[in-house]
């Protein structure tokens, strides 16, 4: 063991740790973080507040059943948790014993028994573990609520798991529990969170009717909405001036194909990590591209190999243009300039403009690059080309290898 080696290693670690990160609060980018503001979901919060206003104005007078549905990353969990947490705070200030209990059915392996056990644990930290059915547990929960004069909003997140494991009976029992206690206050409300509405078909018609009465539909976020969400998160987590609009917009654009805020925030976090790893002072589109290829490793080396020589040359020109511009997208003009240089290096006769156009279109059709019309600028509309699936420098390096006749297997870290 050479001491010298050991010394250098710890120096690198120390150097890295000494360098300030562009992040000031990484926790605000974590999966579990529930921001105080949920841009573009204000209306949903307002609707939920309307539905549950009785819990503050006349607790026990009724119980509510709500269904939140929408695709992945549309804010179902975040909205429910934000709403529940804030409502409980307000209830507390009014001396109402309201609890919001958020249970992920998947984590409870779709078992009503485990779900109710979690709920009960809010009131009785230790109760007999075995020997009860879930019906008995539900009764115990109601008794505890009576005893404490408490009210519960039980959020059943990822409800698919419960329905898949136990069918419609658990929900039937949960929504009907009050019928057996007609003279008692209504204490248990439900927020059901379901990504796939087709699961409703597995429930009995009266439960379906109950749930369909109050539906909160979450639509995928648009690019503008994602931009607002990202900007809000950047304010909380990035140091001042380290996340340029262009990079944020680029992330929003990438995530807007699915409208998934989770993907957007994950990209934001990962690209910050790449920026830090390169000791950069700000988030560059290149870091975002790297993050994309880490999150969705979709480009396969063999795919790039199947491209024609001219297509590879065009791709190399695009990656170089992207790298030297430092932007998310480059114009056809910039590509053409880079293309001529690459052709010269490789002793190829550059093809005419229309041919180059064809290569770009083909690369775009295969999904390896994205070509889009720019907004109306000074010079009118122009085609903007970007590379979305992997980082430009990784792609460039591999293409350069391949032209140098060294293309064995593309190195894994490039893709
Ligand atoms: P879902 O439950 O619909 O899959 P989540 O509620 O988990 O989606 O949201 C995914 C991620 O995006 C979470 O980190 C959440 O905090 C964030 N998020 C979703 N919607 C918003 C919003 N409107 N404002 C801020 N962050 C949001
Ligand atoms: Mg969720």
Take atom 24 of ligand 1 and give the residue whose Cα is closest. Answer: 38
For each of the chain's 415 residues, which pLDDT tens digit applies? Answer: 555 566 788 887 887 777 789 999 999 998 889 999 999 999 999 999 999 999 999 999 999 999 999 998 999 999 999 999 999 999 999 999 999 999 999 889 899 999 999 999 999 887 766 788 999 999 999 999 999 999 999 999 999 999 989 999 999 999 998 888 888 999 999 999 999 888 999 999 999 998 989 999 999 999 999 999 999 999 999 999 999 999 999 999 988 888 899 989 989 999 999 999 998 999 999 999 988 876 644 454 556 667 788 999 999 999 999 999 988 899 999 999 999 999 999 999 999 999 999 999 888 877 778 888 877 665 677 889 998 667 788 788 778 877 876 444 444 433 3
Residues with CB under 5 A from ligand 2 (ion): 76-77
pLDDT at position 404 is 76
Q: Note whether 127 and 246 are same-domain residues.
A: no
239, 268, 294 - which closes a domain: 294
* Co-location of 167 and 117 in the same domain: yes
Measured from the CA of 80, which atom of ligand 1 is nearest? 6
Q: CB-based contacts of 46: which residues, under 8 Å, 6+ apart?
A: none
Residue nearest to ligand 1 atom 7, measured at CA: 77
256, 158: one domain: no
Mutate to test the pocket of ligand 1, among 73, 83, 226 (most ligand atoms within 8 A of CB): 73
Domain span holding position 147: 42-218
Report how far residue 80's alpha carbon sits from residue 51's, in angstroms, rounded to the nearest whole number: 13
251: tokens are 């992330």
Domain count, the chain: 3
Atom 9 of ligand 1 has which residue's CA nearest to it?
A: 75
Q: What is the model's pLDDT at position 295?
A: 62
Asked whether residue 9 is assigned to any structural domain, the reply reads no
Q: Is 146 helix (H, G, I), strand (E, B) or coil?
A: helix
Cβ–ligand 1 distance for 227 under 6 Å, the answer no
Do 127 and 72 belong together in one domain?
A: yes
| Cα gap 257→277, rounded to integer Å | 28
> Which residues make Cβ contacts (< 8 Å) with residue 224, sequence separation at least 6?
252
Same domain, 85 and 146: yes
Given this model, what pLDDT does residue 415 score?
Answer: 36
Q: pLDDT value at position 389? A: 66
**75 CA distance to ligand 1 centroid (A)?**
4
The answer for residues whose C-beta is within 8 angstroms of residue 302's C-beta and 6 or more apart is: none
pLDDT tens figures, 52-96: 999 999 999 999 999 999 998 999 999 999 999 999 999 999 999
Look at residue 26 and tell me if it is in a domain. no
91, 81 in Cβ contact below 8 A?
Answer: no
How far is residue 91's CA from residue 8's CA, in Å, rounded to a whole number? 58
Q: What is the H or E stretch that residue 329 is in?
A: strand 329-331
Question: How far, in Å, is the centroid of ligand 1 from the Cα of 253?
Answer: 17
Any atom of ligand 1 within 6 Å of the Cβ of 39: yes
Provide the whole-model pTM: 0.76
Q: What is the domain-level CATH number for residue 258?
A: 1.10.8.60
CB 264 within 8 Å of CB 229: yes
Residue 102: count of CB within 10 angstroms of its CB? 18
Q: For a pocket test of ligand 1, which of 72, 225, 261 has the largest count of ligand atoms closer than 8 A to its C-beta?
A: 261
Whose C-alpha lies nearest to ligand 1, atom 22? 38
Question: Is residue 19 included in any domain, yes or no?
Answer: no
Q: Check whether residue 232 and residue 214 sit in a common domain.
A: no
Q: What is the CATH number of the domain that holds 199?
A: 3.40.50.300
For residue 361, which phi and psi values (nearest 5 degrees)? -60, -40
> Do 78 and 170 belong together in one domain?
yes
Please classify residue 14 by burial: count the beta carbons closer than 10 Å to its beta carbon, then call 0-12 exposed, 13-18 middle and 19+ buried: exposed
Both 312 and 352 in one domain: the answer is yes
Q: How far is the CA of 219 from the centre of ligand 2 (A)?
A: 14
Q: What tokens does 246 get?
A: 């262009």
Q: Does the CB atom of residue 77 touch ligand 1 within 6 A?
A: yes
What's the rounded Cα separation, in Å, for the pair 166 and 135? Answer: 13
Regarding whether 193 and 98 lie in a shared domain, the answer is yes
Last residue of a domain, one of 240, 259, 294: 294
């Amino acid at each position: 063991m050479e001491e010298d080696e050991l010394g250098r290693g710890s120096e690198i670690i120390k150097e890295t740790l000494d360098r300030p990160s562009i992040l000031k609060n990484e926790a605000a980018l974590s999966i579990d973080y529930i921001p105080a503001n949920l841009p573009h979901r204000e209306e949903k919060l307002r609707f939920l507040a309307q539905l549950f206003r009785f819990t503050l104005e006349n607790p026990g007078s009724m119980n509510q059943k709500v269904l939140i549905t929408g695709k992945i990353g549309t804010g179902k969990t975040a909205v429910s948790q934000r709403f529940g947490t804030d409502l409980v705070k307000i209830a507390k200030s009014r001396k109402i014993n309201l609890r919001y209990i958020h249970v992920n059915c998947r984590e409870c392996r779709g078992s009503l028994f485990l779900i109710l056990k979690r709920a009960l644990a809010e009131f009785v930290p230790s109760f007999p573990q075995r020997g009860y059915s879930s019906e008995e547990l539900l009764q115990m929960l109601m008794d505890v609520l009576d005893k404490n004069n408490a009210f519960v909003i039980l959020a059943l997140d990822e409800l698919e798991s419960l329905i898949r494991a136990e069918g419609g009976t658990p929900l039937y029992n949960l929504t009907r529990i009050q019928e057996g206690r007609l003279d008692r206050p209504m204490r248990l409300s439900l927020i059901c969170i379901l990504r796939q509405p087709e699961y409703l078909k597995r429930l009995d018609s009266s439960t379906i009717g109950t749930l369909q009465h109050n539906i909160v539909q979450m639509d995928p976020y648009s690019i503008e909405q994602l931009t607002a969400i990202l900007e809000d998160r950047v304010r909380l987590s990035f140091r001042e001036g380290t996340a340029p609009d262009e990079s944020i917009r680029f992330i929003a654009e990438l995530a807007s194909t699915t409208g998934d805020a989770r993907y957007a925030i994950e990209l934001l976090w990962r690209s910050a990590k790449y920026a830090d790893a390169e000791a950069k002072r700000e988030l560059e589109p290149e870091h975002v591209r790297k993050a994309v290829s880490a999150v969705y490793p979709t480009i396969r080396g063999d795919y790039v190999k199947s491209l024609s020589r001219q297509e590879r040359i065009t791709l190399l020109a695009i990656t170089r243009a992207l790298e030297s511009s430092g932007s998310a997208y480059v114009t056809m003009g910039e590509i053409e300039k880079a293309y001529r240089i690459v052709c010269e290096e490789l002793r190829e006769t550059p093809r005419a403009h229309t041919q180059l156009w064809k290569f770009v279109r083909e690369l775009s059709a295969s999904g390896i690059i994205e070509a889009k019309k720019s907004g109306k600028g000074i010079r009118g509309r122009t085609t903007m080309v970007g590379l979305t699936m992997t980082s430009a420098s990784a792609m460039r390096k591999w293409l350069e290898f391949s032209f140098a006749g060294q293309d064995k297997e593309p190195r894994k870290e490039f893709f």
